[in-house]
Structure 1
């Protein structure tokens, strides 16, 4: 089982605004919070977001470089994927692969793809049945 994932971000305030609603919708609870970071926990796994040091902010994240490509989460249902899609659009967040949405991952993969404020790709996948 995965213990935790820690991500350094360019703007902690924007990151919290973006991720808090999504993680809450997916069943995560705020776990820890300190001046330069925050975490949310689901069962035994948690996600940590930490403000990157100023000296590293001029090097932007890109998911096709070596390192993290994306984070994928389980959705409770196809309806939850649809609700999250509408909420993201209302928030002005671009849905990736919109021309193939919600089957961009294939005919048996009902999912939503989008990016966080640092352009980290996020995927939310509905159960098969």
Structure 2
């Protein structure tokens, strides 16, 4: 029945500034009105809505102001350079500073590589790639560089 996630929404304080930021991520505008814009994540399959609202003042929590975009595993190796070219700074997450990212999340029985940054309003944006699925193996969170050396 369910085929996937079609839309997600984030609050923003300045729609024009946010549009410029999300265009840097190579997202295409699907629909726009005065206080709302939708960007295609995958055209015809999923989009992201940005709402200009004072709700952006709601304190950050990943259940409220976080979104993760899936990327290919191979792209994860060059993702920091891709972000730097767009003048987007990597965030410190889980105690890992930008220079130690991407990192590997031990979500047993899954493992994912991820890197984090913030949009102009402090919404948390994650780029994530599955490394393995349905494989039980205990390990600690580590850098992708460390993961690649052990696998």
| Contact 1:71-1:121 at 8 Å conserved across structures | yes
Q: How far has the Cα of 1:95 moved from its partner?
A: 3.2
Q: Return the index of the structure with the highest Cα Rg.
A: 2
| Residues 1:121 and 2:118 are matched in the alignment | no
Q: How far has the Cα of 1:9 moved from its partner?
A: 0.6
Any runs of at least 4 consecutive aligned residues in structure 1 with deviations exceeding 3 A, and if so which?
A: none
The count of aligned residue pairs is 119
Partners in 1 of 2:30 and 2:49 — Cα distance?
9
- Spell out the pairing of 1:34-113 with structure 2 (5 A cutoff): 34-41=33-40, 42=42, 43-52=44-53, 56=54, 60-64=57-61, 67-78=63-74, 80-90=75-85, 91-96=87-92, 97=96, 98-106=98-106, 108-113=111-116
In the superposition, relative to structure 1, how do residues 3 and 115 fare at CA in structure 2: closer, same or farther (>3 Å)? Answer: same
Which structure is higher in strand share? 2
Partners in 2 of 1:2 and 1:64 — Cα distance?
20
SS in 1 for 2:57: coil
Unmatched runs of 5 consecutive residues or more in structure 1: none
Q: How far has the Cα of 1:104 moved from its partner?
A: 5.0
Partners in 2 of 1:31 and 1:19 — Cα distance?
12
- TM-score, length-normalised on structure 2? 0.64
Query: Can you list the C-alpha shifts for 1:31-80, whole angstroms capped at 9, x where unaligned?
Result: 1022322111223221111211xxx37x6243238x415211110233x2
Unmatched runs of 5 consecutive residues or more in structure 2: 133-151
Query: Can you list the C-alpha shifts for 1:73-93, whole angstroms capped at 9, x where unaligned?
Result: 110233x23443223334152
